[in-house]
Amino acid sequence: MVDLDKETEEKILNIVKPYHKEKDYILNYLITDDHVINIFSSINIGKAITTEDLTKIADILNGEFIGFKIVNQEYRFAFKLPE
């Protein structure tokens, strides 16, 4: 498994952090072998990340937003990364 570099994590965190109530929110994600990154966000935040912000994240990742689903009280936003 691979992690994002710290600069990329920070850019994404700056976009998603306002959607979370926790002051100490930490970016939570998983990159899979098929070059997909899932960014996890609690459903208890009261609002989902906007399409505009998801597009910004896709641009940062040089990838494509491919959808989201709700699993175990959290949103899972999926992005296809370049291979």
Q: Considering the entire predicted model, what is its pTM?
A: 0.89
User: Residue 42's pLDDT band (boundaries 50, 70, 90)?
Assistant: confident
- Structural domain range at position 46: 6-80
Strands 64-71 and 74-80: what pairing? antiparallel
In a domain, 25, yes or no: yes
Confidence of residue 46 (pLDDT cuts 50, 70, 90): low
Report the residue count for the chain. Answer: 83
The pLDDT mean for the chain works out to 90
Contact 64, 57 (CB under 8 A): no
CA distance 44 to 61: 26
* Type of residue found at 12: I
Domain count, the chain: 1
User: CA-based angle 6:17:13, to the nearest 5?
Assistant: 15
1: in domain:
no
pLDDT tier for residue 45 given thresholds of 50, 70 and 90: low
